[in-house]
Each structure stands twice: as structure tokens, then as C-alpha cells.
Amino acid sequence: MRLSIIAILSGSFFAETCLADPGEGRIFWTDKDDFQLESARLDGSDRVTLLSGLADPRGIAVDSAAGKIYWASHEVNGSIFSADCDGSDVATFIDGLIEPADIALDLENRLIYWVEEASSGVGTIRRASLDGGAAELVLGGLTRPYYLEVDVAAGFVYWTDFNNSVIHRATTEGANSINFITGQTRVRDIAVSDGIIYWCDRNSNQIRSRALDGMGAGTVLFSGGADRVDRPHGLVLDPETQQMFWTDTEIPQVNSAAMDGSGSVTTLVSTSLNGAWGIALSKPVVAPYDSWLAENFTSVQLADPSLEASVWGELADPDQDGRANLLEYAQATNPLEASQDPLALRGEVEDSFFKVIIRMRKGDASVNSGIESSLSLTGDSWETGDFTEMSPRVDDAMNPGFEFVTYRAALGEERRRLRPRPHRWAAAHGARRRARAEDARAGDRDVRGRAVGAR
């Protein structure tokens, strides 16, 4: 039996962005009474209604790197939805929930957390993988949990209740649940940054903060009519600029101010609002791939669009070794030196299976890998179901930050072509990359490479 393997190196690319321009950030908020989701620049300009006609939208979160927004539909048979940051590609992320009120993302571990208020039953905190999979219970037996925050670095989850004066805390595994801060009136959203916890107290018309290792009811940062704080609800922080943003459901407004309580409050949005509730922030993300481009190509080259196809583009092959830039990035090979690195891609027969072992970059959630096969030795018909990933992944001792991924398929009598297929989901900046993504969707853009044989 003879098995021919032809590696076809491809830089398939899909791009969306949460930002209209790479140099700016945006806020996103839900309006529960106008049933819509809106966005604006951090100064309140360029206000856009992204989605309307939503069912009681509440908590919202943004994955800037993946170009995705998530929000909760606070219904008895509620759901969490996702969409691209321009409001397109709306999908149900998970359904069958009991009044999901707020959500929080753990992007480091690719998890989404949410609270189910269950106003006539027992409330819960649950989580699931952002990449799919069943929900798992973090905490049960709660009384109407309403807002949520996850401190990924410290391993804690914080939450508040619909009608309570307490901020609760437990580990992200659901252990050691305590009443963390007491003595409030009716706490709404909470946020944690750099050892400090911030929160909105709806009924005292205040925004407060306290050191996580401190004591007491915290320091009042902003309060009452003079600070335009009436019924603060949603809260999000921008540690980079030391600014906070919040929604107020009574005035109603979207406001911003300094995180340390200094200076005055700036009203960003004050018209055509009815029930501004959840709020999230998206800031420019320097993707690892973009950093890799800057390390390997000059700024002059990267600024020249005429060199995209031949030098710096994802599908370009400047060293003519049959390996597109995206694959060079994913596998720790040099895009400017033709190489035959035997560890980047190799195949071997084991019993009645054929294994393909590829080296892949770790720590970049925007890049995924896979193996595609084709019965046609000349055509362009590819399948993804033949090869399955085998556990565990093994770290590359010679290249920190990389690992070996093994895929396996049953051997057969037929000859097949194989190709590693890296995919990149990235927050691409600028119209040029968005246009290129549209081109990639329109048709397969393969860079065909050298043959790799096995018997």
C-alpha cells in the first residue's frame, strides 16, 4: 500500500474588527427598554445602533481580538447571543437559560461566565467555553444574582443580587463563598482592576471603590445630581487611560470619569435612551501576528500595499519555500529564509493509522490549525472530517511558546493529498485587511508547497 501526501500550505484568513479605526476604542451598551444594542467612540461620537428588536438585552461583553460581542437576553427562557462587532452574523451562543442577567469573559482561558437570576426560583452562576461545549455550574442556590465580574488573575468571581446590599465573592471553581462587602443599599455592576474593586450603588446614587485587601464600605467617587449619578447600573473600566464608563437608567445617560474620582463627570450620550443597562469596552489589540510582521518586515515594506501579495501578506511567500507567511508564523519558521524544517511538519505510519504532527504556536487564540485531505490529486475538493486531533499536545522544548499537535486518520487503499490548514480569526485593523478577508471568503486561496512522502 502506498500513501502519497502532498502538503498544501494555506493562509486562510477571516477578519472582523470591533474598532472603526486602529487608534481608537469604543464602548458598547444595551438598552433594555429600547430593545437594542448600541456603540460609540469613547468620547460619545460616532454613535451607531448595531442591533434592534432584541428581547430584553442586559449584560454585554466584548472579545476585541476575535471581533465578537456577547449579550444576555433576560427572559424566563433566555439566551446568550453573539455577533460580529458590526452587528452582523448574529447567533445563539447558548439557550435554555433562566433569566440570564449579566456576563463576563475570561479570555485567557476562553471562558464565558453568566448569572441566571431565576427570580422565581434558584439563581446560579455558570460558565462555558467560548469555543463551544456544555455549560457547567460554578455556584448554585443563589438569590437572584444580577451582576457579575471575574478577576481572572486572582481566580475570583464577584456578584451582586437584584435586591441586596452585599457584594459576594467566591473562587472561580465555586469554593469559599463569602459576603465580601456589606453595608450598601442596592448594588449593581462591579469591576476589578489593579487591586481595587469598583461598584455602582443604585439606591444611594453613588459609585464607590475600595482596595481588595481593604476594609469597610469603600470610598465614594461620584454621587448624586452634581455628578450626574442617579441610578447607575452598568460599569466598565479602562485601566490604560484610568477612565471609567457607566450607564444610568434613570436620567438616562452614558457617562465617563476618572477612576480615582478626581475631576468632573463627562456625559457621552444623553439622548434617545430609555433603559441603558450593560456596558462594555473595546480597545485596540496588537495581535501577536502583527508583532511578528513588525519583527520580520520593515515598516516601509508593511506600509506598501503593492508588496502585500509578494512580501508581507498572510498568503505571501517571500522566500519561495512553499510556506505562506501565516504558516511560517504559526510554526516558528523564518519567512525570509527558505527552510526544510523537519519538525514543523512530519508524517508517520502507526499500526493502521497515519499520523500528521505539526508544530503550532501557543498563546494566540486567533490561530487554529487542522488537517484537510482530498481524494483528488489535482482538484480543489477538500474534507476536514478524516483527521482528528490526538491528546495530549506536547511542548516544543527547543521553541518556547510552541507545541506539537498530532492528528490521526485511518489508513486506506486510496491515495490522498493532505494539507495543514491554519486559520486566523483576528481583529484586523484597517479597510485593506477587511477587504482582503472578503476576498478570502469568496474563494480558496492556496499556496501549494512541496511534497512530503510516506509509505
Task: Name the residue type at position 151.
Answer: D
Phi, psi of 277 (to 5 degrees): -125, -85
Angle made by CA atoms 200, 112, 51, in degrees to the nearest 5: 75
Spans of the chain below 50 pLDDT: 1-16, 20, 22, 426-455
End-to-end CA distance of the chain: 7
- What is the pLDDT at residue 436? 37
Which DSSP category does 394 fall into?
E
Domain 24-282, second-level architecture = 6 Propeller (2.120)
Phi, psi of 425 (to 5 degrees): -105, 115
Edge-to-edge strand order for the sheet containing 91-97?
A: 57-63, 68-73, 78-84, 91-97
Query: Which long-range contacts link 395-398 to residues 24+ away (Cβ below 8 Å)?
Result: 395/362, 396/332, 396/343, 396/359, 398/343
| CB neighbour class for 343 (10 Å; exposed up to 12, middle 13-18, buried from 19) | middle
pLDDT 10s digits, 224-274? 988 999 999 999 999 999 999 999 998 899 999 999 999 999 999 999 999
- What is the pLDDT at residue 24? 74
Phi, psi of 381 (to 5 degrees): -105, 120
| CB neighbour class for 161 (10 Å; exposed up to 12, middle 13-18, buried from 19) | buried
Domain ranges of the chain: 6-15+287-451, 24-282
Label residues 252-274 b or e (16+ Cβ within 10 Å = b): bbbbbbbbebeeebeebbeeebe
- What is the pLDDT at residue 57? 97
- The C-alpha torsion from 193 through 288 and 345 to 380, rounded to 10°, is 110
Q: If you write DSSP's letter for every residue of 263-275 in order, what string do you get?
A: S--EEEE-SS-S-
- What is the pLDDT at residue 133? 81
pTM over 0.75: no
Whether omega for the bond prior to residue 145 falls within 30 degrees of 0, making it cis, is no
Specify the 3-state DSSP secondary structure of 42. Answer: coil
- What is the pLDDT at residue 425? 58
pLDDT 10s digits, 304-354? 999 999 999 998 999 998 788 998 898 888 999 987 677 777 888 888 888
- What is the pLDDT at residue 23? 53
What's the rounded Cα separation, in Å, for the pair 382 and 373?
A: 6
Q: Where are the alpha helices (DSSP H) in 120-231?
A: none
- What is the pLDDT at residue 398? 86
